[in-house]
Structure 1
Amino acid sequence: MKKLVLLALTLVLALGLAACGKESSSGSASKEKKEIKIGATSGPYADMVKKAIAPQLEKDGYKVEIVEFSDYVQPNISLGNGSIDANLFQHKIYMENFAKENNLELSELISVPTAPMGIYSNKLKDLKEIKKGTTLALPNDPTNMARALKILDAEGIIKLDPAANPLTVSEKDVKENPHGIQFKPLEAAQLPRAVESVDLSAVPGNFALAAKMDLLDALKLEEMEDEYRNRVVINTKDLDKDFAKAIKKAVESDEFEKTIDSEFKGFGKPEWMK
């Protein structure tokens, strides 16, 4: 009987030690890393990570590495394959289309202030100076063309078909063009240079900044819809990770907004910041 009791106690002790070992192992495994790699396109958004986001993360004990990209494809590919933990360069519509076409599970974490598209000119001082035959260069990709046309529609310069999809309106949806504006679709990267050769040029904010243009020199900046604002994007599986919560906390901080106000003038703030 004593031997049976001793054997039982031995088994209980062994199981207890095994459970403790398992708990200890899983506890250390669940401890998350404190290094974060954030990808961003070179220019204002890499600067935003460096100046406004990374300092707040470092206060929380994270080591931040910024990986700069020169195109709009590799930041998501690198995120999908785990080379980076998050990226900042894209708006919601682009993210969803890219994820669908490339079989990725991406999710937005939080939207950030974004450089708006603007109508620029070296020939006109005001949009009221538009006259018959004014030439306007605008992006030839559907998303950005829609943004440019909606600026003109909001200013009463043209009238778009109210039944058209607001995210994909194009020249064919222009129902009224009283000034006979001549639309000249171009690759977005060419639009800053086009200011020299046309009357007006609709330049997306990132390309304007890359060309050292001052956003506040625009005759008109768009009232940007939140779908077009850039956001921090991560893999969907990481939404509940501590580092994701830390990034969101950093962007929501007062220090982040102060940096935006002082160093990113002209950037339109998302609705959650207003």
Structure 2
Amino acid sequence: MKVKKLLTLTATAILSLTLVACSTDNKSEEEKTSSSDKVITVGATANPHAEILNSAVKPLLEKEGYTLNVKVFNDYVLPNKALSEKSLDANFYQHIPYLEEYNKKNNDNLAYTVKVHLEPMGVYSEKVKSISELKDGAIVAVPNDPTNESRALKLLAKEGLIKVNDKEILTAKDITENKKNIEVKEMGAEQLPTTLKDVDLAVINSNYALQAKLNPTKDSIAIESKDSPYSNIIAVREDDKDSEKIKALDKAMTSPEVKKFIEEKYDGAIIPSF
């Protein structure tokens, strides 16, 4: 009888330990889930996107109990791939036409929530002080992704350097008039500031211009108008649009504090879209 009783007590003890262990593991998983729900990971290009996130948005989210983790990217392709692969909760670096073109080419369905700011694209040169000074056969560098190349060519057409087809997406093949016989050189957007010494003109996105210490409103010889449709957005996965984390991020991104930061920090080079 004593042996049977001892075995019963041992079995009860083992069962209790097992239940405690399972309870601890479950609690640990719940705690991990709860903890991850309070961390928002956003991919961004360095300047101004990561700067806005770290300087102006992070403190606002901390007040709401969230930790903002900013991952910096140096190109325009990887942040969308990382978002699709769920290593990011959102990204902040692109405009709507770029996102739509990315979705079409990659059979993806990334969405956007809020418009944050406009970065006017500018024309820069170390060789001439105005577009009219360009010589015959000049080399003009433009971004090589479809939407930003289209923006660049439309800006050059607006300045009277070329004429282009009336369509949304343009390449150099859509130039219909080129009186100065310019050579259009398509390059990665991030490379354009470094090519200024080698080309006659470069049409550069404001984020990369700022990164290269170029002020779009002071250093460019031509710039997009303020009514440009290319506002930068918060991009997310479609099924996360209404999550609590994204709602908190959107609220912070479009707050009066962020608007004031953009206006004061960039002095008109970047314009709030809210």
Within 1, Cα distance between the matches of 2:68 and 2:267? 25
Instruction: Note the aligned Cα RMSD (angstroms).
Output: 2.9
Q: Which amino acid aligns with 2:200?
A: D
Specify every segment of 5 or more residues in structure 2 that has no aligned partner in the other structure, as ranges: 1-32
Give per-residue Cα distances to partners, 1:66-115, cap 9 Å, x unaligned: 22233434433333343332211222233234345555442101122243
Within 2, Cα distance between the matches of 1:247 and 1:89? 15
Q: CA deviation at 1:131?
A: 4.1
Instruction: Report the TM-score, using the length of structure 1 for normalisation.
Output: 0.76
Q: CA deviation at 1:147?
A: 1.3
Instruction: Report what 1:143 is aligned to.
Output: 147
Instruction: Report the TM-score, using the length of structure 2 for normalisation.
Output: 0.76
> Does 2:244 match 1:242?
yes
Within 2, Cα distance between the matches of 1:41 and 1:256? 17
Instruction: Report what 2:38 is aligned to.
Output: 34
The change in CA–CA distance for 1:222 and 1:64 in structure 2 (over 3 A counts) is same
> Does 2:94 match 1:90?
yes
Within 1, Cα distance between the matches of 2:145 and 2:37? 40
Please tell me whether the aligned partners of residues 122 and 203 of structure 2 are also in contact (alpha carbons under 8 angstroms).
Answer: yes
Corresponding residue to 1:48 among 46, 52, 55 = 52
Give per-residue Cα distances to partners, 1:135-162, cap 9 Å, x unaligned: 3222333322211110111122222223
Within 1, Cα distance between the matches of 2:134 and 2:124? 13
Corresponding residue to 2:61 among 49, 57, 62 = 57
> Does 2:116 match 1:112?
yes
Please tell me whether the aligned partners of residues 37 and 85 of structure 1 are also in contact (alpha carbons under 8 angstroms).
Answer: yes
Give per-residue Cα distances to partners, 1:225-264, cap 9 Å, x unaligned: 7653321112211222222222222122111111001113
Report SS of the residue matched to 2:117. Answer: coil
Instruction: Report what 1:204 is aligned to.
Output: 205
Within 1, Cα distance between the matches of 2:73 and 2:106? 18
Please tell me whether the aligned partners of residues 115 and 266 of structure 1 are also in contact (alpha carbons under 8 angstroms).
Answer: no
1:1-274 correspondence to structure 2 within 5 Å: 33-102=37-106, 104-162=108-166, 165-166=167-168, 168-215=169-216, 216-223=218-225, 228-269=230-271, 272-273=273-274
Please tell me whether the aligned partners of residues 54 and 64 of structure 1 are also in contact (alpha carbons under 8 angstroms).
Answer: yes
Within 1, Cα distance between the matches of 2:59 and 2:147? 33
Please tell me whether the aligned partners of residues 108 and 234 of structure 1 are also in contact (alpha carbons under 8 angstroms).
Answer: yes
Q: CA deviation at 1:211?
A: 2.6
The percentage of counterpart residues that share the same residue type is: 39
The change in CA–CA distance for 1:156 and 1:226 in structure 2 (over 3 A counts) is closer
The change in CA–CA distance for 1:75 and 1:131 in structure 2 (over 3 A counts) is closer
Report SS of the residue matched to 1:112. Answer: strand
The change in CA–CA distance for 1:31 and 1:134 in structure 2 (over 3 A counts) is closer
How many residues are aligned here?
242
Deviates more, 1:208-217 or 1:233-242: 208-217
The change in CA–CA distance for 1:208 and 1:101 in structure 2 (over 3 A counts) is same
The change in CA–CA distance for 1:203 and 1:74 in structure 2 (over 3 A counts) is closer
Instruction: Report what 2:17 is aligned to.
Output: none
Within 1, Cα distance between the matches of 2:150 and 2:107? 26
Q: CA deviation at 1:185?
A: 2.9
Q: CA deviation at 1:198?
A: 2.2
Please tell me whether the aligned partners of residues 32 and 242 of structure 1 are also in contact (alpha carbons under 8 angstroms).
Answer: no
Please tell me whether the aligned partners of residues 99 and 105 of structure 1 are also in contact (alpha carbons under 8 angstroms).
Answer: yes
